[in-house]
Amino acid sequence: MPSAMKQLLASALGYALLASGAGLAEEIPHQRSIALIDKTWAVSLDMTGYRVQADGVKPDSRRYVLATNDAAAMQLSVTLEAVSGQATEQGCLAHLHRIAQTAAAPSHAGPTRTEINQLPVFEYLLHETSAGRTDQFHLFACTNKDNVYADIHLSHSGTTTVDASQLRKVLESLSIVAAAQPGSLDYFRAGSAPYLQGQFKQAIPHYERAVALERTNPSLDKALWRLLVHNLGVAYRRSGDLARAKTTIDYGLSQEPANPSFHYDLARTYAGMNERDRAMQSLHDAFLHFRRSNDRDPIPDPRQDVSFGRFMLDPAFRTLTESLMQPAI
């Protein structure tokens, strides 16, 4: 995958959206609901005053939200993780106990076990004595529903005395609510998590839902839509379903006939079908449109692409690839 596509995919997933500049962080008005794609319920928290710095799905399929309240020097993270069996209160307690053991150090005050609205909570204060360092107050909570654990971590870091009630207030607002209907971006993120792990069959159903929504109610920007079509085509091809891979890329080309990446993907698909002449034509079209475009992310070198390995000893195919890789005059 070209570097620009990797960066775009990481940003879309959300785990790389740690805001480093204006415009990335999203201010939250009041309640924020966080859900897994296949659940009808969501964890809801009052996050007034916080700004979202990351919101997405990690490559291991955990849903992750990171938010900060700069005025109060507070940070909040929420992680939803599905497990193979039933999530239990005992599992939450075991998780918090592991955190407590990690926190058991001479520089820590605590950890202290408490409950907030029947929610098990561990909290501790980390004293920093070196010059320029500040105290840190941490609060960890866990709740469970169905086969999902929700981990909540709140922290304060600063030279002023922390008002722990501000952190506890967020947990007091926690509730389980009905999840909103997922959109194209939600399904795209859900599919991209297994896709990045090479689990292409698991990615396909989520990508299919995203494409279906885009056909009837487009909401993704053009860059993400192109990546969605590309990834679904690759997932089909890598899963051995070449017919659906071709159908997907044909859909992409029906919307953007001059897209070099789609033509190149089609060439790879034809190669998998052992259709040399069509693969050659699609490769020719890919480089033709690339040279006419302003695309800065280069097309892969087909001579180094294993997708075309079966044709590389063919004189006509080899001659074409050599000519395509010559600098444009």
CATH number for 162: 3.40.1000.10
CB atoms within 10 A of CB 193: 23
Domain-ending residue, one of 178, 211, 233: 178
Q: Is residue 193 part of a domain?
A: yes
Distance CA 136, CA 128 (A): 8
- Same domain for 199 and 297? yes
Same domain for 153 and 171?
Answer: yes
Answer yes or no: do 160 and 222 share one domain: no
Q: Is residue 7 part of a domain?
A: no
Predicted confidence at residue 89, as pLDDT, reads 92
Residue 163 domain-assigned (yes or no): yes
Question: Cα separation of 138 and 77, whole Å?
Answer: 12
- The tokens describing 259, both together, are 């897209």
Which of 178, 210, 239 corresponds to the end of one domain?
178
- On whether both 214 and 197 belong to a single domain, the answer is yes
18 lies in some domain: no
What single-letter DSSP state applies at residue 162? P
Quote the pLDDT of residue 56. Answer: 86
Tell me what pLDDT residue 109 has: 58
Q: Which of 143, 44, 138, 43 is nearest to 92 (CA)?
A: 143
Helix-, strand-, coil-residue percentages of the chain, each rounded to 5? 45, 25, 30
Place of tokens 């999530």: 87
Instruction: Tell whether 157 and 232 lie within a shared domain.
Output: no
pLDDT along the chain (329 residues), means of 10: 60 45 48 92 93 88 92 92 94 87 60 86 72 72 95 81 79 93 93 92 96 95 95 97 98 96 97 98 96 84 95 96 84
The range of the structural domain enclosing residue 157 comes to: 24-178
Q: Are residues 191 and 170 in the same domain?
A: no
Distance of CA 19 to the CA centre of its chain: 15
Is residue 277 in some structural domain?
yes
Radius of gyration in angstroms for the set of CA atoms belonging to the chain, rounded to a whole number: 25
Torsion of CA 84, 85, 86, 92, to 10 degrees: -70
Omega into 315 within 30° of 0, i.e. cis? no
The reply to whether 3 falls in a domain is no
What is the distance, to the nearest Å, from the Cα of residue 107 to the centroid of all Cα atoms in its chain?
Answer: 36
Full strand arrangement of the beta sheet holding 41-46: 31-34, 41-46, 175-178
The verdict on 286 and 191 lying in the same domain is: yes
Instruction: Please give the pLDDT value at position 110.
Output: 61
Q: End-to-end CA distance of the chain: give it in Å, rounded.
A: 27
Note whether 134 and 220 are same-domain residues: no
State the total domains in the chain.
2
Task: Count the neighbouring beta carbons within 10 Å of the beta carbon of residue 214.
Answer: 21
Query: Residue 202 maps to which CATH number?
Result: 1.25.40.10
Is 126 within 8 Å of 136 (Cβ atoms)? yes
Supply the pLDDT for residue 16. Answer: 40
Based on the domain organization, do 228 and 160 belong to the same domain? no
174 and 231 housed in the same domain: no
For position 250, what pLDDT does the model report? Answer: 98
Contact 76, 152 (CB under 8 A): yes
In whole angstroms, what separates CA 69 from the centre of its chain? 23
CA 259, CA 297: separation in Å to the nearest integer?
Answer: 12
Confirm if 137 and 127 have CB atoms less than 8 A apart.
Answer: no
Same-domain status, 120 and 151: yes
Residue 233 lies in a domain: yes
Quick one: pLDDT at residue 126?
A: 74
- Residue that finishes a domain, picked among 178, 208, 238: 178
Residue 91 lies in a domain: yes
**Does one domain contain both 174 and 247?**
no
Taken in order 55, 181, 234, 258, the sign of the CA dihedral is: negative
Q: Which tokens hold the place of 285? A: 């079209």
